[in-house]
Structure 1
Amino acid sequence: MAFIGRKDDLAQLEDCFKARKGQLVFVYGRRRVGKTETLTQFSKAKMTLFFAAQNATKEDQLASFSRLMFEAGAPGKEYLRQYPSWESALSELVRLPEPADGGRRLIIFDEFPYLVKSDPSLPSVLQNLWDHTLRNANLMIVICGSAMSFIEKELLSQKSPLYGRATGILKMKPLPYWDAVKFFPDYSDEDKALSYAILGGIPRYLEEFDPDEPVESNIRRHILRRIAPLYSEVEFLLHEELRETAKYNSVIRAIALGGTSLNEIATRTMMPNATVASYLTNLMELGIVEREFPVTAKVKEQAKGARGLYQLSDNFFRFWYSFVFPYRSELERDDVGDVYERHIKPALHDFAGKPFEELCREWLWRESISRNLPFHARQIGRWWDRTHEIDVMALNDGGNESIVGECKFRSAPMDVPMLNLLRDRAAHTGIRQKSYFLFSLGGFTRPLIDIAAAEQSDVRLVGLEELFAADAS
């Protein structure tokens, strides 16, 4: 399959590569997000030394890196079997043959945290070499890793020897929905939305679905069967990143089933609030859970966390904990058909409702950047108080103008009463100047279409065709 998406990420990396001075760029993000594939794409047509670190000893790592260096033309292979230290190995980077066109050498360290795990002095070694020689060399060095909290706390923070040395920091995010659905070019818009609701924007998960098979067949074959990689993916990832996976399972499951506040999650898991808070922090660092605040919340209010709600930021985790984890006994006996027919098929559109809301918010950001909204949005998210909730809300710079939206992933068309309900909810936000956006899978009734078509109407109707327009990239 052709490489999909990452135009902005590749463009920013290319800008670094073309810069005059030496480059030390950090690229990081959660596992499966596509870092290695993106760096492979970036390195095409460049003279590249690409070192993929393994979870091994310092000696094994040095031996592998030494072989790679000597194959790339580094001097010393006639009398050296391997470099005796990382200092001697990295100092030789400046002696690698330069490209014939006088361009820049690209050096990529993939999964760099594995190297630091085997030799904690490595950041200090790299810092010293960077300060004295590497920064003046015709090199672009890329430090890549999946251990996000390690990179942020141990390599980029103020206490790190490498603090302030980075010339670029790229935190890679899941693909936006308009790139994610390119994995299924022949799907209907409804099936594209369903696939995104199930898999999210993680390329590794999107690749598992066969674009020539229907969504139902893909769920049955590529998620529910024991042999399918996605069947075991969540457990593998948690075991790789965390201890006490049983307790993390309980926390994630509680959120997947609708527990959003700390108290609710603690009650459902029967664990103390402080323990749950610690687990939630770790899950947020992994990009699995996020904390959400009303879009109108002030910075001070967010710091106190009084109104923050927890939710799963990963669509596939939410699907797995909703439809795989509870029915493992049946699936272990290969009762795939019954699990799908009884538990997934009747609930799939309701399940897709929340991811559909997020999709609509992404669309609003894209429209704002393209200057297609009544104003340029400063913030886009959800809004709620104790009794009312709005699916989508965008605010302008002054916070005195808003777009409020309702999202329905249902076959029935939206009608005028839904607009009236949205107007009523919006009246409680305290913002006077508002536009009303309605997003619908099933389209809209004629009376609602007439209201939106009226001159100077403050109502806009957005169907799937517009959300998945061909130019949405």
Structure 2
Amino acid sequence: MEQLIGREEEKLLLQRALDSNEAELVAIYGRRRIGKTFLIRKFFEKQIIFEFSGIHNATLSDQLANFGQALTLSMKSLPVETPVNWRQAFNMLEKCIGPLIKKQKRVLFFDEFPWIQTPRSGFMQAFEYFWNMWASRQKNLVVVICGSAASWMIQKVINNRGGLHNRVTKRIRLLPFNLSETAAYLKSRKINLDQYQLLQLYMAMGGVPLYLKEVNTGESAAQVLDRTCFKKSGLLHDEFKILYHSLFEKAIYHIEVVRALAAKSGGLTRNEIIEACSLTSGGGTTQLLEELSESGFITPYIPFDKTVRDSIYKLTDEYSLFYIKFIENIKSQGAGTWLRLSESTSWKSWSGLAFESICLKHAQQIKKAIGIADVYTEVSPWRYASKKKEQGAQIDLLFDRKDNCINLCEIKFTLSEFIIDKNYAAVLKQKEAIFRERTQTRKTLFLTLITTYGAKKNNNYINLIQKEITMEALFKD
């Protein structure tokens, strides 16, 4: 039986819902294939007494028929008559589960919640009435509503202005596994790969459990990517086309933003995104960016010494970047495709960007490796784009520390030990000088190098680098 790997914070929250002396309404959302259903089924496997899942693009009559079947299955009774509307459906549910929650906590699980709401079906109104007039008064009841359509869950449930306003008691935004969880998940499936192979997989697939489930025992990362990405039958070959349209109602705009960010390794500000994608500056763009961010596709960072209005958005979904860079326009397919691509110049630019994104996601692990886990820090990238002829600069990642120091991190993905030559040493010195000049900071600056296999300890390294982190640190808890 498959284990429940990671999800420690989520498990604590779900346990609090079970331990509560009040009714709990738990909303969980996250991108497709992230493991939402598995988490709920596995954690509440002894408490779920009713489970119902919406069907995409199904009619009202089909949804109601499926509800009746789900109720029959849950109650282990004679076939339940199909309800004629949602108000009747919830009345039937109340009568069936009422006796079962007299003495112990039980769970009702509504999966793919957004898909249940068909046009003019009255589902949301009936659910709101069910929760407010009955379910919320049952101290032994936990109602879990789950959905992949992040925009719908955020608008209609989390930010509901009607009958569910402020009714959600627990909220879970489920994100992909980090590297440590990815390694543990694959190990639980008897997959034994070294950290570099795991990193390669993560750079293309991210920590999406269902993608990682495609990895077979005895395969290298290159073999996995050839089979899953560059064969027409591979899961990830056409996943991009399905992914965004299954999550967002007007996915074409979300895809445009993702493509714009894929083309800019340094990220874009809100105004730059508006210009690049021909969007308006109103609330629609704010909502679009929030939906992409809440789903984990993009991440906003507040640059050093700036405000939230100056946020830089970066594409942080590994698969989306990999698809745009390599899969969608590839002409060759099958065995050896990825090994050939990994020798191209586009691979070098992609690998650097993908590794940088992974480091940003694993800032807490890097902070711990630096030795500042207990020091308050603010984490961000930084860039200075000169409009004149003077030199610009970009800092991949920095840790602004409360102890009056700043770690300026330079991130390099290499196949072997990294070498700081004379020219690159000059680049690092210039970056540090521009940062100090433009920010006017008086804090102590520590140049910190983050690489896959470390760096050669030559004179350039000794004279410049105060701290070095390798990929091993990213795999720590």
- Which category of TM-score, normalised to the shorter sequence, fits these structures? 0.7 to 0.9
Shift of the alpha carbon at 1:323?
0.5
Quote the residue 1:413 is aligned against: 418
- Whole-angstrom distance in 2 between the partners of 1:136 and 1:189: 50
1:85 aligns with 2:85: yes
Partner secondary structure for residue 170 of structure 1? strand
| Paired residues for 1:364-443 under 5 Å | 364-366=363-365, 372-373=371-372, 375-386=374-385, 387-396=392-401, 400-410=404-414, 411-415=416-420, 417=425, 420=429, 423-428=432-437, 429-431=439-441, 432-443=443-454
- Whole-angstrom distance in 2 between the partners of 1:129 and 1:245: 32
Shift of the alpha carbon at 1:19?
0.5
1:459 aligns with 2:466: yes
Shift of the alpha carbon at 1:108?
0.4
Among candidates 213, 216, 221, match of residue 210 of structure 1 = 216
- Whole-angstrom distance in 2 between the partners of 1:459 and 1:202: 35
1:105 aligns with 2:106: yes
Partner secondary structure for residue 25 of structure 1? strand
Quote the residue 2:74 is aligned against: 72
- Whole-angstrom distance in 2 between the partners of 1:71 and 1:184: 33
Quote the residue 1:340 is aligned against: 338
Change (3 A) 1:100 1:309: closer
Letter in 2 for 1:407: I
Q: Which deviates further from its counterpart, 17-26 or 368-377?
A: 368-377
Quote the residue 2:123 is aligned against: 122
What are the Cα deviations for residues 192-249 of structure 1, in whole angstroms up to 9, with x where unaligned?
2111111112112222222520111111111100111110111122443467877876
Quote the residue 2:65 is aligned against: 63
Kept in 2: contact 1:62–1:83 (CA 8 A): yes
Quote the residue 1:223 is aligned against: 229
What are the Cα deviations for residues 411-459 of structure 1, in whole angstroms up to 9, with x where unaligned?
242448376456435424433134432211231223479959xxxx992
Q: Which deviates further from its counterpart, 346-355 or 41-50?
A: 346-355
- Whole-angstrom distance in 1 between the partners of 2:365 and 2:375: 11
- Whole-angstrom distance in 1 between the partners of 2:337 and 2:282: 30
What are the Cα deviations for residues 63-90 of structure 1, in whole angstroms up to 9, with x where unaligned?
2222222333388x58x51233322322
Kept in 2: contact 1:368–1:377 (CA 8 A): no
Shift of the alpha carbon at 1:16?
0.9
Partner secondary structure for residue 210 of structure 1? coil
CA RMSD of aligned residues (A): 3.6
Where do 5+ consecutive residues of structure 2 fail to align?
Answer: 386-391
1:165 aligns with 2:172: no
- Whole-angstrom distance in 2 between the partners of 1:280 and 1:393: 26
- Whole-angstrom distance in 1 between the partners of 2:51 and 2:223: 38
Partner secondary structure for residue 359 of structure 1? helix
Change (3 A) 1:129 1:93: same
1:198 aligns with 2:204: yes
Kept in 2: contact 1:184–1:192 (CA 8 A): no
Among candidates 219, 229, 234, match of residue 240 of structure 2 = 234
Partner secondary structure for residue 118 of structure 2? helix
Change (3 A) 1:234 1:394: same
Quote the residue 1:149 is aligned against: 151
Quote the residue 2:318 is aligned against: 315
- Whole-angstrom distance in 1 between the partners of 2:370 and 2:457: 28
Kept in 1: contact 2:450–2:469 (CA 8 A): yes
Shift of the alpha carbon at 1:277?
11
Change (3 A) 1:263 1:4: same
Letter in 1 for 2:397: V
Quote the residue 2:388 is aligned against: none
Letter in 1 for 2:321: R
Quote the residue 2:329 is aligned against: 326
Letter in 1 for 2:170: G
Q: Which deviates further from its counterpart, 255-264 or 166-175?
A: 255-264
Quote the residue 1:295 is aligned against: 303
Shift of the alpha carbon at 1:95?
3.9
Q: Which deviates further from its counterpart, 413-422 or 170-179?
A: 413-422
Kept in 2: contact 1:110–1:145 (CA 8 A): yes
TM-score by length of 1: 0.82
| Paired residues for 1:126-141 under 5 Å | 126-137=127-138, 138-141=140-143
Q: Which deviates further from its counterpart, 8-17 or 316-325?
A: 8-17
Q: Which deviates further from its counterpart, 412-421 or 192-201?
A: 412-421
- Whole-angstrom distance in 2 between the partners of 1:371 and 1:22: 44
Quote the residue 2:358 is aligned against: 359
Quote the residue 1:10 is aligned against: 11
Shift of the alpha carbon at 1:155?
2.0
Letter in 2 for 1:64: N
Among candidates 176, 180, 183, match of residue 181 of structure 1 = 183
What are the Cα deviations for residues 382-427 of structure 1, in whole angstroms up to 9, with x where unaligned?
11122111111122469x5432211111124244837645643542
- Whole-angstrom distance in 2 between the partners of 1:350 and 1:430: 31
**Percent identical across equivalent pairs?**
21
Kept in 2: contact 1:72–1:96 (CA 8 A): no
Kept in 2: contact 1:434–1:458 (CA 8 A): no
Kept in 1: contact 2:51–2:74 (CA 8 A): no
Where do 5+ consecutive residues of structure 1 fail to align?
Answer: none
Kept in 1: contact 2:366–2:469 (CA 8 A): no
Kept in 2: contact 1:365–1:380 (CA 8 A): no
What are the Cα deviations for residues 102-126 of structure 1, in whole angstroms up to 9, with x where unaligned?
3211100001111122555322222
Change (3 A) 1:81 1:246: closer
